[in-house]
Structure 1
């Protein structure tokens, strides 16, 4: 499904919550400067690692509501974000190599995944006063239970590393790799910088370019510089769009 033929940049800030507030504020300022406003998405974690709950934090809830009122699309991003499941086979490889205990929805049963989706949706929507834009699993990792729960979740949109789709029907709305950065190790940082540099010269033919940043990105100036260069490269050729545009 192609929808509009105009080219879009879909930008998002992940892991938004009270514990990442200062870093998120810095990333918001960077996005505003390059995108010309609050036309991007936030992925909100209801209780990051069980240490930073949204519930009861009135000041941060007001901040989320203000951002949402100003146009930021709010996605539910798991519940804890932390993966505490025991994995085997392919799931174990994904958990070990694609994330550092962050793939919360990789090993959940359908019932538990549905409960966390439902609770996250209710909490975020109560805070922002409107429907959440969709659900995106932490680290973009979905196990079989999560996929089963997602189909009946009522969320309008979901995404992984390679596509955006409608959960209820499975219809793919957009295909493109996500440009993102890694700050956990020097090797991962170097690799993500190289991929972003390559994307800046090769992704322009794509209809939709997706770009995702994380609070940890602000810890390294090299990553901040790469984010700035990547935003500048793509905003010179396309408009900042909204995920909801894909539904039209």
Structure 2
């Protein structure tokens, strides 16, 4: 398969005024690997209720500059914090073990999920004067209410840990695990480095591979080394792509 048909999709999560410095460092690192700003940013409108974008004019300018440079902007929840009470063992397990209280859309009902999706979209689109690329739930976790809301919200693209799909018509656009890292404990640092080492070889034959980084990664040199190794390996015979390529490919 020629390199033009093989893609690497990269993204920076948790883009917020709260992590402005870390996001800048990640953007520089990814641009170095990808030959420019050929990645997506997942924007949180008010991270944990402590970093609202709405009245931050300096951050508005940054979003406009990123968009003008060709970076795809996704809505990434509203608060990125999970305040829901979860019913059922499966949802409770995901909330406790798959994220540190950040699965915002795991327990939301359809109406509340749709309201946050729409408000996040309106905020970002009003700032940049253009449409967002899609929606990605914090921690890639969706409950039934969020899935139902996606069908109404009209986002072109959504993704979780194992796939990218179009909520408009339900098409699965690509499958495969996203390569990402965790920085919140020694155990998770070690396990994410081990998974990335395996994935950068095991996923090499796939047509489309996704890599996602987070602001917390910048504080752990071992994670940065692993991120660099993943990009170096996965870009062999592969072209940096954009999520919107999946809609036409």
Q: TM-score, normalised by structure 1?
A: 0.97
Q: CA deviation at 1:5?
A: 7.5
Deviations 1:182-201 (A, max 9, x none): 00110110000001111121
Aligned to 1:140: 140
Matches within 5 A, 1:1-248: 6-88=5-87, 89-248=89-248
| SS of 2:49 mapped into structure 1 | coil
Q: Once superposed, which parts of structure 1, at least 4 consecutive aligned residues long, lie more than 2 Å away?
A: none
Q: Is the 8 A contact 1:107 1:143 kept in 2?
A: yes
Deviations 1:202-239 (A, max 9, x none): 11110100000000001100001111111111123211
Unaligned ranges ≥5, structure 1: none
Supply the distance in 1 between the matched residues of 2:205 and 2:236 (Cα, whole angstroms): 14
Q: CA deviation at 1:169?
A: 1.7
Q: Is the 8 A contact 1:5 1:207 kept in 2?
A: no
Supply the distance in 1 between the matched residues of 2:4 and 2:168 (Cα, whole angstroms): 24
Q: TM-score, normalised by structure 2?
A: 0.97
| SS of 2:5 mapped into structure 1 | coil
Deviations 1:110-149 (A, max 9, x none): 0000000000000011111110000000000000000010
Q: CA deviation at 1:171?
A: 1.0
| SS of 1:243 mapped into structure 2 | coil
Q: Is the 8 A contact 1:39 1:72 kept in 2?
A: yes
